[in-house]
Structure 1
Amino acid sequence: MPDYKQFPLADTAEGLTEAEILNWRVQPGDEVQVNQIVVEVETAKAAVELPIPWAGVVTELLAEPGQTVEVGTPILTVDTDPGGSAGPPADTNGATPAKPAEPESAEPEGEEEMKPLVGYGSKTVVAKRRPRTAPQPQTAMNDSLPAKSAGNESFMATEGEYVPLAKPPVRKLAKDLGVDLRTVTGSADGGVITREDVERAANGAAAAPAAAITEPGAREHRVPVKGVRKATAQAMMESAFTAPHVTEFLTIDVTPMMELREKLKRDPAFAGVKLTPLAFAAKAVCLAVRRTPDVNAVWDAEAAEIVYKDYVHLGIAAATPRGLVVPKVRDADRMSLVELAAALDELTGTAREGKTPPGDMVNGTFTITNVGVFGVDTGTPIINPGESAILAVGAIRDMPWVVDGELAVRKVMQLSLSFDHRVVDGQQGSQFLADVGALLADPSVAITY
């Protein structure tokens, strides 16, 4: 007998509630093995690949690419005993196929305990079968159309509501092109709408009279706020309206730092290491925290306490195709300059590829944002929630500078520090910024720390 099991969207141990389906690695009819990757999803933190805990044959995909699904919602059906039947029966309401031996009025099966997924610990995820419902009557308008076509095409969902027939990729194309499928006539068998039908409709809309495109919104497009962008927006709103921000600025001559950088590049210990000004800034922050631990603390409003961290989990703000993410270098204060440089290179590269593990995106204590890579001199960065300070590092430019009473061209950089005034007083914030500036202006100062 066939045994149909539904695979729910797993909680990736981040405390998140939803994720977007990016792409399926399997299709109906494919055989799968235990812990085989079946889908890639995007959470508010990163892209994550999910393995399945059973072996069997995929019978149905319950979510489309681009769809946002809540944690615990079934996204895939698998027959774990495919030898018992040729396949699941059709169901006009999209419900999970019933076992053939069960009567139509049988109650849905109870809860099933899933095996732990690789990489997600021993957490138990409970999957429930979707309730079986009776088919809805079709209207005369749709009497000639099939109740449900192959490939998860749409059908008459409820009485009086016409839903056009189209496969998920065609629906996504229509959404991208701004085509309302209800206005399109399908050219395939049974009135199914094809990609060509959608493209013709889109070209026809593009050829509308000039007066039409002057309407409000005619030359606009909308992008849903979800995933990384949604999480970033929520975090920034929370921070901006919770922590009283203060920002201070400092301009420094970093010519000695740049000279040391060129010297270290020739050192065999740094062979193959990408030594950037960001690495020097990261090392300076870790050293300066020793003298001003307040910038590495956090305000606990519920307990009415300031929590001091005896470690530095250094966040590095990275711009990626998915949006702004802040992966962390764990225990950065215990690393040498060469170790920090190597860790930063690996961390930023992984972030841009969207492959940062979810665990590396949380529990930071201090953040650096390198606006200098965009040619920007300075800014007023917003503190990440759960932290009390963030340092912005600006571009390094050749500028006139007074050295020993003489005007000279030097390598100059601007720093800006935003801090939570509940935790960090002006004197402490100023001392920390001055220390970081001194370490970058003259790296030999580090020997005094």
Structure 2
Amino acid sequence: MGEFTIKMPDVGEGVAEAELVEWHVKAGDPVREDMVIAAVMTDKATVEIPSPVTGTVIWLGAEVGDKIAVKAPLVRIETNDGATRPGDAPAAEIASVSTAQVIDVGESIEVTPAATAGTDAALADGRQLRQTKKEQAHTDVVHTDVAQTDRARLDRTEIDKPLASPSVRRVARDAGVDLRQIKASGPGGRILHEDVEQFIARGESPPQAPAMARKTSSKEVKLTGLRRRIAEKMTLSTSRIPHITYVEEVDMTALEELRNTMNRDPKPEQPKLTVLPFLMRAIVKAVADQPNINATFDDDKGILTRHGAVHIGIAAQTPAGLVVPVVKNAEARSIFDCAIEMGRLAEAARTGTATRDELVGSTITISSLGALGGIVSTPVINHPEVAIVGVNKIAIRPHWDGTQFVPRKMMNLSSSFDHRIIDGWDAATFVQRVRLLLETPALIFIEG
């Protein structure tokens, strides 16, 4: 018998450690070469780690939620090709990085071939070592009963454990769905997000306990992965930034009429418009008069950076949690261009394919829950920005026009500001400017 030690891979970008977010195996499980055994998350990416050898897991070096230093032992696997060449270490060390699922709060990274070159080389060395061992072995190898038993156990394990990314497993777990019940449509029998969504939409989720049944159980859930990153980000924002929230109602009747007209007969290349592209253009105009609002603040250095470019973050809910894709240079985009870019980024965020550049660099953020937007919210500023604009739902409400009450489509804006930088008067002035632009949408299209 031989032994391989898989170490925590170096994913580049100066990352010194990563958080273990999921084990796909346990001690005693058989594994096959290239089978995913674990998933780790850095500050910027979730990375799946495959096994470079076939054998049996004999030791796991961490628990879910633990931070693991780069090159620290992660897994030990007992292999059946026991002979080692003279001078070889008792345990060959190997680490490799598979494709990364890109998702994070305001920041992410895409793992490229360049970033994994070192680990790919290690993987190649490990495979060369195994090939050399095979060439030195006798050609009339007899498979023992132990090897056959391991193979049978491996086949059963792979049948019982469907192939799926960490985010897909998380969505299924949160929905109470057993992945073994889902038919896979991805390459190599991998279960995709769409497969889980379609399964849930068909109403095939396991039956729930009777509503009136008494429940006495409790469960402790350790925050890991993206949820842990979100918690850290929110803690940073609320602990460092003294928030002031200003709420104002906006008459959206005229803008809704304009939006419906523009959506009635669009050109083939034009997307359907929502309220957000209009709000983005209104923000561009409003911050031109108040540059302190389109800014970031370095707490440690005490430096406020006013940005000429308006990079608008759009807080988006995904199956794995909250992310903030960024529409870069909104000041140079038309209404339709803003809509196209926003739609593209939202899809990339939902599927976990957004790149690092698409998830960093925002100078001001919009937070919207769409139809669930409620009447008022208190959005948390995306540190190190100094302002966030919260969009609440549109509802028909009676509005006094000076002589009578008339039905109007009304929407509240709930906006938060860093009170160290933005005074209450400046916050109100900014919101009132945005309100004027939305209530008189023709002004949005006037240059200058």
State the TM-score bracket (shorter-chain normalisation).
0.5 to 0.7
| Residue 100 of structure 1 pairs with residue 98 of structure 2 | no
Which letter maps to 1:100? Answer: T
| Residue 29 of structure 1 pairs with residue 22 of structure 2 | no
5 Å matches for 1:62-211? Answer: 67-68=64-65, 70=68, 72=70, 73=72, 88-89=79-80, 100-102=84-86, 119=112, 121-122=114-115, 150=150
Q: Is 1:44–1:226's contact at 8 Å kept on the other side of the alignment?
A: no
* Partner residue in 1 for 2:435: 437
Corresponding residue SS for 2:21: strand
Q: Is 1:46–1:355's contact at 8 Å kept on the other side of the alignment?
A: no
Q: Is 1:246–1:421's contact at 8 Å kept on the other side of the alignment?
A: yes
Deviations 1:188-223 (A, max 9, x none): xxxxxxxxxxxxxxxxxx9xxx9xx88xxx322232
* Partner residue in 2 for 1:11: 11
Which letter maps to 1:395? Answer: K
CA distance in 1, matches of 2:319, 2:409: 31
User: Greater helix percent: which structure?
Assistant: 2
Deviations 1:314-352 (A, max 9, x none): 111112222222222222222111011112222223323
Deviations 1:374-414 (A, max 9, x none): 14122111111111111100111111113364431111110
5 Å matches for 1:291-302? Answer: 291-302=289-300
Counterparts in 2 of 1:119 and 1:377: CA distance versus 1, 3 Å: same
Give unmatched runs, 5+ long, in structure 1: 79-86, 91-97, 130-145, 154-165, 177-205
Q: Is 2:4–2:91's contact at 8 Å kept on the other side of the alignment?
A: no
Counterparts in 2 of 1:385 and 1:344: CA distance versus 1, 3 Å: same
The offset of 1:28, in angstroms, is: 3.4
Counterparts in 2 of 1:17 and 1:385: CA distance versus 1, 3 Å: farther
CA distance in 2, matches of 1:150, 1:271: 57
| Residue 281 of structure 1 pairs with residue 279 of structure 2 | yes
* Partner residue in 2 for 1:163: none
Deviations 1:265-306 (A, max 9, x none): 135447551311122212222222211111121221222211
Give unmatched runs, 5+ long, in structure 2: 101-110, 126-145, 162-168, 174-208
Corresponding residue SS for 1:400: strand
Which letter maps to 1:119? Answer: T
Corresponding residue SS for 2:240: coil
Q: Is 2:313–2:365's contact at 8 Å kept on the other side of the alignment?
A: yes
Counterparts in 2 of 1:11 and 1:49: CA distance versus 1, 3 Å: closer
Which letter maps to 1:274? Answer: K
| Residue 234 of structure 1 pairs with residue 232 of structure 2 | yes
Q: Is 2:371–2:393's contact at 8 Å kept on the other side of the alignment?
A: yes
Counterparts in 2 of 1:425 and 1:274: CA distance versus 1, 3 Å: same
| Residue 426 of structure 1 pairs with residue 431 of structure 2 | no
CA distance in 1, matches of 2:381, 2:390: 11
Q: Name the TM-score, length of structure 2 as normaliser.
A: 0.64
CA distance in 2, matches of 1:115, 1:320: 22
Counterparts in 2 of 1:220 and 1:38: CA distance versus 1, 3 Å: closer
Q: Name the TM-score, length of structure 1 as normaliser.
A: 0.64
* Partner residue in 2 for 1:315: 313
How many equivalent residue pairs?
352
- RMSD, matched Cα: 4.6
CA distance in 2, matches of 1:429, 1:77: 57
Q: Is 2:296–2:386's contact at 8 Å kept on the other side of the alignment?
A: yes
| Residue 369 of structure 1 pairs with residue 362 of structure 2 | no
The offset of 1:40, in angstroms, is: 8.1
Counterparts in 2 of 1:419 and 1:319: CA distance versus 1, 3 Å: same
Which letter maps to 1:295? Answer: I
Corresponding residue SS for 1:222: coil
Corresponding residue SS for 1:295: coil
The offset of 1:240, in angstroms, is: 0.9
Q: Is 2:9–2:96's contact at 8 Å kept on the other side of the alignment?
A: no
* Structure 1, 414-423 or 287-296: larger mean CA deviation: 287-296
Percent identical among aligned pairs is 27
Give 1 or 2 for the bigger CA radius of gyration: 1
Counterparts in 2 of 1:114 and 1:381: CA distance versus 1, 3 Å: closer
The offset of 1:13, in angstroms, is: 4.1
Counterparts in 2 of 1:7 and 1:120: CA distance versus 1, 3 Å: farther
Counterparts in 2 of 1:124 and 1:400: CA distance versus 1, 3 Å: same
CA distance in 2, matches of 1:283, 1:340: 8
* Structure 1, 275-284 or 56-65: larger mean CA deviation: 56-65
The offset of 1:260, in angstroms, is: 1.0
Which letter maps to 2:397? Answer: M
CA distance in 2, matches of 1:101, 1:356: 45
Which letter maps to 1:88? Answer: T
Corresponding residue SS for 1:294: coil
